[in-house]
Amino acid sequence: MPEGPEIAREADRIRAAIGGESVERVRFAFPELKRRSAIFTDSRVEAVTPRGKAMLVSFDNGLTIYSHNQLYGKWFIRNAGRLPKTGRQLRLAIETKEKWALLYSASEIEVLDEVSLSHQPYLEKLGPDALAPSTTLESVLERLETKRFMRRGLGSLLLDQAFVAGLGNYLRSEICFEARLHPDQRPFDLTSADRRRLARAILTMTRRSYETGGVTLPASRAARLRTQGASWAKARHWVFAREGAACRRCDENIQRFDLAGRRIYVCRSCQPNRRAAN
């Protein structure tokens, strides 16, 4: 599933292609939305905004198209009149004179007015977005220290969009490693210095991934690996998807286990489970 950084980069591409442009046609695949297609003709795209793992395309007619990529959704940008070669099913097309923004495979698409947008269930439950400039280290630290989240294991907490929006599976592994914390630990178990380091890692890893297109290693480290012949995938992460490989800090083998129904990766030397030891 695309995580916050990937959705934000898709929003950048969509905004660059159709932002501020007049709409010639909107097409929906779902029957319940098709009858609303004509409402968008000659409207103008006012904003393209990522919210966690959702996308909001807002128009000057007061309506917003909400979408969530879920596991398989993917946006394509094409010149007008051209479709990508793909086996995916087209779910939404926003067509302007020069460019088309095309959403394939997603099954969660809604047309919302201002009132329904404010009560959309997914958006309503979102915590602060890790990529938003208004989300500061102190605001994340405050959430880590609230009763609602303090006794949650990090492995599940870092997937909860109500805690901080935009985090996901690869980011939780990378955040825990960056903070030198085991995913079984809870904010309650940590020192104030540990929690501050964790809050900083949440913002650093998410924002670095957005800036680099999915690389969570420091840029100099990733570049050095690439010059040594590593592929982009092999030079991308500290621990995620590196089961059995040597830790980039201590040479201990990276281990994988399942947590909250999804795979997670740790270095047991760099990330000792102090909670289990107690």
Given the residues 262, 268, 274, 275, select the one marked as catalytic: 262
How far is CA 67 from each of CA 138, 203, 276, rounded to the nearest angstrom? Answer: 30, 24, 41
Contacts of 12 (CB under 8 A, 6+ apart): none
How far is CA 126 from each of CA 46, 130, 164, 207, rounded to the nearest angstrom? Answer: 23, 11, 7, 18
User: Residue 10, SS3?
Assistant: helix
Write the DSSP assignment of 36-86 as a string of letters: TGGGGTT-BEEEEEEETTEEEEEETTS-EEEEE-TTT-EEEEEETT-----
Given the residues 51, 53, 186, 208, select the one marked as catalytic: 53
Given the residues 2, 5, 50, 187, select the one marked as catalytic: 2
User: Residue 100, SS3?
Assistant: strand
Q: In the annotation, is 147 catalytic?
A: no
Query: Tokens 């591409």 map to which residue?
Result: 13
Query: Tokens 């281990």 map to which residue?
Result: 255
- Tokens, residue 83: 């479709």
Query: Which ranges of 165-271 would DSSP assign to H, the alpha helix?
Result: 169-178, 192-212, 219-227
Q: In the annotation, is 125 catalytic?
A: no
Q: In the annotation, is 2 catalytic?
A: yes
Q: In the annotation, is 128 catalytic?
A: no
Contact predicate 247/254, CB 8 Å = yes
Distance, in Å, from the CA atom of 131 to the CA atom of 204, rounded to the nearest integer, reads: 10
Distance, in Å, from the CA atom of 208 to the CA atom of 205, rounded to the nearest integer, reads: 5
| Residues designated catalytic | 2-3, 53, 262
